[in-house]
């Protein structure tokens, strides 16, 4: 990789794209080299040479002229002309599935925020119903993909050409459960219950009947029961069968943030000290995880940060635990984690530009 790294974002118009632009524009290692912003433009915007970033996200305008940067019409020639080294895709799953093989052929490293390449097992990937025109190429690309959770795959991410950024719900639940399962503490025959709640921005920027204010406000609703597309990530990354976990997502009437409440039973009675030790040992090299040992996390403490906050309580017998995991779905659950992966890929401090 060159001393100066040129990044590009395709998909800057969405919520995650806005956060990704903000983080990269202010990253200390990328000063003076803003991302290339590329996407689809209509004829009117093409005629005026693109769309100023300030028109898309006014909050990104500043005294350094970042608001004057433009969203330009996407083309592979544009990315080659600008010397793009790392390509961020904040695009629909199907678009990423189509574009990533081409980007790899052109020598770019890719951090894909969609679900296109997160799942290794075809049975789990079926929820996306991908229609690959070249199945052999898709299989070869999938074989290169590394699941982009540094807390689990730091060494592999450092060498990866394609990082599949995790889902927001999946990040919250995996970080809560994986250390306990990896330590052999959980009675998987009893099963794990993960009850997760997310703010409305987790559904993306395009409005739907379910995310309409009149539906979401003053309401709390479960959805995609037994069928949410992040379930496969939990199975593959924690190492579970479908019968060993029940994951139920809910829509919270707040803009952003996730709180997951996870219920586990242990194989043998535990103490607060033994559970805290399991988490501390697992996350010893993970600067973006905060362990709450005396209280339970709340969304308001992690929102607008890249931290994943984890706390737990045991029952009197030490045989069961309730684990609470909180994070910002647009940051640690999406764009912040993408920049964390960038740091790992380039050998920079993992939390740089994120604290």
Is 168 a catalytic site residue?
yes
Residue 2's pLDDT is 63
Q: Are 70 and 49 in contact (CB under 8 A)?
A: yes
Q: CB-based contacts of 228: which residues, under 8 Å, 6+ apart?
A: 169, 247, 249
How confident is the model over 318-334, as a mean pLDDT? 98
Give a yes or no: residue 301 inside a domain.
yes
Domains contained in the chain, number:
2
CATH number reported for the structural domain that contains residue 114 in this entry = 3.40.50.720
Query: For residue 45, is it within any domain?
Result: yes
Beta bridge partners of 263: 193, 322
Indicate if 52 and 143 belong to the same structural domain.
yes
Judge if 133 and 213 occupy the same domain: no
Q: Are residues 62 and 139 in the same domain?
A: yes
Q: Does residue 296 lie in a domain region? A: yes
| CATH number for position 224 | 3.30.360.10
Asked if residue 113 is part of any domain, the answer here is yes
Confidence tier at 1 by pLDDT (50, 70, 90) = low
Q: For 188-200, write each residue's pLDDT tens digit.
A: 999 999 999 999 9
In which band, very low, low, confident or very high, does the pLDDT at 273 lie, cut at 50, 70 and 90? very high
When pLDDT is cut at 50, 70 and 90, the band that residue 205 belongs to is: confident
CA distance 1 to 102: 19
Residue 2: inside a domain: no
One of 168, 170, 175, 278 is an active-site residue; which one? 168
- Residue-wise pLDDT for 70-97, tens only, equals 999 999 999 999 999 999 999 999 999 9
Which residue matches tokens 């209280």? Answer: 295
Spatial separation of the C-alpha atoms in residues 174 and 89, rounded to whole Å? 23
Same domain, 16 and 47: yes
Dump pLDDT digits (tens) for 9-57: 999 999 999 999 999 999 999 999 999 999 999 989 888 889 999 999 9
Give domain status of residue 351, yes or no: no
Which range of residues forms the domain containing residue 192?
Answer: 168-327
Average pLDDT of the chain is 96
Pair (159, 193) in one structural domain: no
Residues 6+ apart with CB under 8 A from 155: none
Same domain for 93 and 104, yes or no, is: yes
The residue-averaged pLDDT of 331-346 equals 98
| Residue-level pLDDT at 57 | 96
Average pLDDT over residues 262-277: 98
Q: Is the pLDDT of residue 210 over 90?
A: no
Residue 350 covered by a domain: no
Percentage of the chain exceeding pLDDT 90? 92
User: In this structure, are 218 and 110 located in the same domain?
Assistant: no
Query: Of 191, 197, 231, which is closest to residue 216 (Cα–Cα)?
Result: 197
Residue 3 has pLDDT above 80, yes or no: no
Q: Are residues 70 and 112 in the same domain?
A: yes
- Tell me what pLDDT residue 208 has: 86
């Amino acid at each position: 990789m060159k001393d100066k790294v040129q990044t590009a974002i395709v998909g800057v118009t969405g919520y995650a794209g806005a956060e990704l632009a903000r983080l990269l524009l202010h990253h200390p290692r990328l000063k003076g080299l803003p991302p290339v912003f590329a996407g689809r433009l209509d004829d009117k915007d093409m005629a005026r040479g693109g769309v100023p970033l300030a028109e898309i996200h006014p909050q990104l305008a500043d005294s350094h002229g970042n608001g004057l940067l433009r969203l330009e019409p996407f083309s592979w020639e544009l990315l080659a002309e600008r010397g793009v080294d790392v390509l961020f895709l904040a695009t629909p799953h199907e678009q990423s599935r189509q574009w990533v093989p081409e980007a790899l052929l052109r020598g770019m490293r890719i951090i894909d925020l969609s679900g296109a390449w997160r799942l290794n097992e075809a049975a789990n990937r079926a929820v996306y119903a991908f229609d690959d025109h070249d199945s052999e190429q898709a299989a070869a690309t999938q074989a290169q993909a590394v699941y982009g959770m540094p807390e689990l795959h730091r060494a592999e991410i450092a060498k990866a050409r394609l990082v599949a950024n995790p889902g927001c719900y999946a990040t919250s639940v995996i970080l809560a459960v994986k250390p306990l399962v990896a330590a052999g503490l959980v009675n998987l025959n009893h099963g794990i219950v993960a009850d997760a709640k997310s703010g409305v921005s987790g559904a993306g920027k395009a409005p739907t009947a379910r995310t309409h204010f009149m539906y979401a406000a003053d309401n709390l609703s479960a959805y995609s029961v037994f069928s949410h597309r992040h379930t496969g990530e939990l199975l593959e990354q924690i190492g579970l069968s479908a019968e060993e976990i029940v994951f139920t997502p809910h829509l919270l009437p707040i803009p952003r943030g996730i709180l997951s409440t996870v219920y586990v039973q242990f194989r043998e009675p535990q103490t607060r000290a033994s559970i805290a030790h399991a988490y501390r040992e697992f996350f010893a090299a993970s600067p973006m995880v905060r362990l709450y040992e005396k209280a339970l996390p709340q969304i308001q403490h992690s929102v607008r940060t890249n931290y994943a906050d984890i706390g737990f309580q045991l029952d009197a017998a030490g045989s069961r635990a309730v684990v609470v995991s909180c994070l910002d779905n647009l940051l640690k659950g999406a764009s912040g984690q993408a920049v964390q992966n960038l740091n790992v890929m380039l050998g920079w401090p993992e939390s740089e530009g994120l604290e």
